[in-house]
Chain A
Amino acid sequence: MAAPGESERWRRPSPRLLVLRRLEVAAVSLAAALAAGLLGATASAGSGLGAAAAAIALGLTAERFVRRRVRAWGYAEREDDLLVQRGVLFSRLSVVPYGRMQFIDVTAGPLERSFGLATVRMHTAAAASDARIPGLAREEAARLRDRLAELGEAQAAGL
């Protein structure tokens, strides 16, 4: 996607995010396949197999979608603002000036933590601002957090 202004260096979430998302999809679709298979098997063995296969096929489609979604995430640190890109069906590009930052969240759920990942989120005074970067390697998340905090302080502007 064309981005505004000068050419910037886009960074991507860690490749481990894709592994994590794939595992999630696999777990859900396997569970669904098992449930559908058992349910179908009460009628006949064939319908059980069919239902399970359908669930697996659905899971494979979801995997494709998830892969594209993960690949669409990106962020770039420019001189005065952070760019965050996301979304496949609805593609979004957010420009958040460092000076408008109110605070930064770094969160990591249990699954993310076991993969050494974290989500960084910038908050501005506007609730609609949408600058979330999931699946950053822990060191990268810490680096980004410190850098954003530093830049935010240097360029802070009032309401």
Chain B
Amino acid sequence: MSEADGWRRLHPLSPIVRGGRATIAIAILLLPAALRGRSLSDSYIQLAIAGVLTGLGFVSWLVTRWRIDGDDLQIETGLVRRQSLRFPLAQVQAIDIVRPGLARLVRVAELRLRMGGASGATARLAYLPEREVEPLRARLLALAGGERHDPEAPVAAEERVLATVPTGRLVASILISDVGLFAEAVLTALVVTAIVSPSAAAGAASGGGVWILGVVTVVWRRFNQEYRLTVAEAPDGLRLRAGLIALTAETIRPGRVQAVRMVEPLLWRALGWCRLEVDLAGRQRGKGEGQAQRGQLRAVLPVGSRALADELLDRILPDRPRETSQPPRRVLWKSPLRYHMLSWGRTDTCVVTTSGRLRRATSWVPLVKVQSLRRVQGPVQRRLRLASVHLDTAGRSVHATLRDRDAAEADRALAELTALARAVRRSGSRG
């Protein structure tokens, strides 16, 4: 395992940081006994568990190593079941630097490479020393871009900040979002019962404790993740930085965006606010990914004005349709709430669709990213001579659907979009 081969190890404190909450929990378990000055005989079991976990962590650190080999990132891990993973850098969709609270204390950071392709796995290097992470990210991105990069000269890619989210606005937006309103309702109910009858409130608090904790966690996570989010444009991609305790810095490579979605919840619309999300290629549900990453898309702009969103959209999708057309009026019979939200439009390279009942969701899909098209007609739609056209992308959750169009128009759109998608695919593969 010589340095000459380019094999490197992770930071020695990695297992402790990775243990994260478990480490803290064990420390809390052991602390009272130690403080009381008792012999630790009562906590033999805890001690044994802690010892075994530390040992396992150390072994896993010992057998894990990584290196950059040509155009691949190679990670070897596992003692009993040895795994050698190879990640072709050309398939990298985005690179994240993640620093949870504990990692920041000991000055380490995790590098996460999100891969495309059928497997759509995520390569994780957890954890590396903080000062090595930025240069490594730049180097990986340069390699992914196909440049022959001189490892001696670190690229100092200059950034241009496009937008930041003020904390006040973020707080306000969370307060009037769906989870926020739910949390407030729960808390108000609790306070009211506490005033009316304290004993009942105590019962409710202990009974619904898990619920309350869950709601608070969701709200907190949202706040923590999106605190002081900054979007910047750099030559090697779009940079997103955010976080209060856990810091994340994400770089999305240009041309890797599968779809963009703008969500405008009912209450936000009154304030002219919206949320802008991008969808990247990847496995639909990743193993080893947290709930938060699974469910939610990466917000480029957690909350902002329409003007700001438009500005960002200009960067991500310069050629985007300006005009949209409404569905026929008879859609009112099928979906009265949705009718006013439905529309679609296109240019030669991009399609936009809107939908939603109370909140409006606008999706943009570049035609280069369309994998397949589907025309679907249900029984109610047949009666009303309507049909929908779906555009499938490799993204996780944004789907552009031309919902409830006149059947003849849907057929025309399907033929047209098929031809346009073919044209951009051809020109793309030649260029």
Contact = CB atoms under 8 A, between A and B. Distances in A.
Contacts of B284: 127
B414 to A, nearest CB: 5
Interface in A3-35: 3-5
Nearest to B408: A2
Contact of B374 (A5, A89, A130, A159): A130
Contact of A80 (B378, B392, B394, B422): B422
B355 to A, nearest CB: 16
Contact of A90 (B378, B408, B418, B422): B378
A125 interface: yes
A82 to B, nearest CB: 9
Contact of B281 (A123, A129, A159): A159
A83 to B, nearest CB: 9
A61 interface: no
Contacts of B32: none
B376 A128 contact: no
Nearest to A93: B375
A90 B117 CA distance: 31
A133 B414 CA distance: 21
Chain A interface size band reads 20 to 34
A95 B425 contact: no
B118 A102 contact: yes
Contact of B418 (A81, A89, A127, A131): A81
Contacts of B116: 125, 159
A96 interface: yes
A124 B374 CA distance: 13
A79 to B, nearest CB: 9
Given A95-B373, A97-B425, A125-B371, A5 B117 contact: no
Contacts of B168: none
Interface in B229-274: 256
A100 interface: yes
A91 interface: yes
B377 interface: yes
Nearest to B90: A158
Contacts of B418: 4-5, 81, 95, 97
B9 interface: no
A103 interface: yes
B99 interface: no
A126 interface: yes
Given A81-B418, A124-B392, A126-B392, A2 B372 contact: no
Nearest to A4: B415
Contacts of B375: 92-93
A157 B372 contact: no
A81 B422 CA distance: 9
Interface string B195-236: 000000000000000000000000000000000000000000
A94 interface: yes
A95 B372 contact: yes
Given A5-B418, A129-B392, A157-B425, A100 B371 contact: yes
7 pairs of A and B residues whose beta carbons are closest in the complex: A4-B415, A125-B394, A126-B392, A126-B371, A124-B371, A129-B372, A128-B392
10 contacts: A3-B411, A4-B415, A90-B379, A92-B374, A92-B377, A97-B371, A125-B394, A158-B428, A158-B429, A159-B369
Given A90-B379, A129-B371, A158-B429, 9 more contacts: A90-B377, A90-B378, A93-B414, A97-B421, A125-B118, A126-B394, A131-B372, A158-B428, A159-B394
